[in-house]
Amino acid sequence: MISYNGHISYASAPAKIILFGEHFVVYEKPAILASIDKRVHIIVIKNDNENSIIINDRIFGKKYYPISVFADLERFSNDIYFPLLYTIKKNSAFKSNVGLEFTINSDIPYGMGLGSSAALSVATVACLSNIFKEIKKEKILELAIEAEKLVHKNSSGADCIVTTYGGLLLYQKNTSFRKLESKRELSLFLIPTGIKHSTGELVDFVKKFKSSNLDKFHKLANASENITKRAIRAIKDGNEIMLGDLMNENQILLEKIGVSNLIIDKIIGLCYKYQALGSKITGAGGGGCVLALIETEIKNRFMHNMEKEGFQCIPAELETDGLIY
Ligand code: PMV
């Protein structure tokens, strides 16, 4: 726990990628996720003599709220910091009658399918728990998922799980998660589309697709489950060729449920052209990032070619640490 006299507290949580199973995970199919080497860092200072909540984020700017904000929080439901304010209010152990100053520093791009809001929720709850009342990781996770559901109400909880526990995980909603071991280091790259997405809107879109294509959706969801199960074996065996093929198969399912688009298709086409082993959307789609698996020997050439085509190519190193607090 990193806290000084209960007055200053620090927490940090990682970004994530989804290797297999996004969207279908909302309907209780298994997914494989991993934390990566980009993090949000939060410092909270408790100030007993202040009567405001100050939130200062490098990207979204600095805002002041009177402590009375908690008495009528619904009024702020469209505020950018509403989920964070809600998280403070939600747990009675976090006294909401003292001044708090949050400084948020994140290197997780926002709206890119990398779990920035889950990492922020988890790190916020952890910081508050350092200051007010130590709570267990499971409870931090539960509160963070609740806050996440304000952002998108059908959240599978996958993002919060992986940012809390870290590592490479197999996750199934309402069931369990377990850590997976990869036999070899995976050379994974993120290629941003440059289009920000709203996870909530895309999850709603898939829900509508499901209700008007019940049979089709059921088959696609079973196919996703099958891909994920084969991917567990490929990861254990360090079979990159198989893993790449499975990523390509997974992408076809995501295209069929309508969460791909022209720019994603273009990037996927370039990944084929420049000999990626596999490539797919990671996260909700509709923009965000494409995830590509590359043979280590050709990774520099791949990056160079993608950059020549006008696309940034960011290495995504898997990280074992989840929440640090
Ligand atoms: O917010 P994103 O883009 O990381 O996507 C979340 C993953 C989904 O499966 C689309 C939604 C969910 O709650 O699992």
Cα of 96 from ligand 1 centre, angstroms:
31
C-alpha 309/C-alpha 290 separation (Å) is 15
Atom index in ligand 1 nearest the CA of residue 112 equals 3
Q: Tokens 């909700």 — which residue?
A: 284
Res 270 pLDDT > 70: yes
C-alpha 125/C-alpha 28 separation (Å) is 26
Residue 35 bridge partners (DSSP): 16
Res 4 pLDDT > 70: no
Res 10 pLDDT > 60: yes
pLDDT value at residue 80: 85
pLDDT value at residue 47: 84
pLDDT value at residue 222: 98
Atom index in ligand 1 nearest the CA of residue 22 equals 9
Say what the pTM is: 0.92
Q: Residues 317-325: what's their mean pLDDT? A: 95
C-alpha 179/C-alpha 239 separation (Å) is 18
The encoded tokens of residue 215 equal 């049979």
The encoded tokens of residue 37 equal 């080497």
pLDDT value at residue 132: 80
State phi, psi for 278 to the nearest 5 degrees.
-170, 155
Tell me the DSSP string of 131-176.
HT----HHHHHHHHHHHHHHH-TT--SHHHHHHHH-SEEEEETTTE
Q: Tokens 């891909």 — which residue?
A: 227
C-alpha 53/C-alpha 126 separation (Å) is 17
Res 59 pLDDT > 90: no
Atom index in ligand 1 nearest the CA of residue 117 equals 1
pLDDT value at residue 6: 58
Q: Give per-residue pLDDT as tens, 35-46.
A: 999 999 999 998
Res 49 pLDDT > 80: no
pLDDT value at residue 92: 57
Q: Give per-residue pLDDT as tens, 205-236.
A: 999 999 999 999 999 999 999 999 999 999 99
Cβ 118 under 6 angstroms from ligand 1: no
C-alpha 139/C-alpha 145 separation (Å) is 10
Q: How confident is the model at residue 256 (pLDDT cuts 50, 70, 90)?
A: very high
Pairing of strands 99-106, 52-57: parallel
Res 5 pLDDT > 80: no
Q: Which of 22, 190, 210 to mutate to test the pocket of ligand 1 (most atoms within 8 A of CB)?
A: 22
Cα of 132 from ligand 1 centre, angstroms:
31
pLDDT value at residue 73: 87
Cβ 148 under 6 angstroms from ligand 1: no
Q: Where are the beta strands (DSSP E) in the chain?
A: 3-4, 8-20, 31-47, 52-57, 61-66, 99-106, 168-172, 176-179, 188-192, 278-282, 289-293, 314-315
Cα of 23 from ligand 1 centre, angstroms:
6
Q: Residues 307-322: what's their mean pLDDT? A: 96
Q: Give per-residue pLDDT as tens, 79-130.
A: 888 888 888 887 656 666 788 999 999 999 888 889 998 999 999 999 988 8
Sequence-separated (6 or more) residues with CB below 8 Å from residue 310: none
Q: Give per-residue pLDDT as tens, 145-184.
A: 988 888 778 889 999 999 999 999 999 998 889 999 988 8
pLDDT value at residue 225: 98
For atom 13 of ligand 1, the residue with the nearest CA is 155
Res 3 pLDDT > 80: no
Q: Which of 159, 169, 174 to mutate to test the pocket of ligand 1 (most atoms within 8 A of CB)?
A: 159
pLDDT value at residue 95: 66
Q: Which of 110, 154, 156 to mutate to test the pocket of ligand 1 (most atoms within 8 A of CB)?
A: 156
Res 266 pLDDT > 90: yes
Q: Residues 258-273: what's their mean pLDDT? A: 98
Share of the chain above pLDDT 90, in %: 71
Average pLDDT over the chain reads 92
pLDDT value at residue 159: 94
Cα of 165 from ligand 1 centre, angstroms:
17
Q: Residues 225-248: what's their mean pLDDT? A: 97
Catalytic annotation, pick one of 48, 159, 237, 321: 159
Q: Give per-residue pLDDT as tens, 67-81.
A: 888 888 888 888 888
For atom 10 of ligand 1, the residue with the nearest CA is 284
48 is catalytic: no
Cβ 172 under 6 angstroms from ligand 1: no
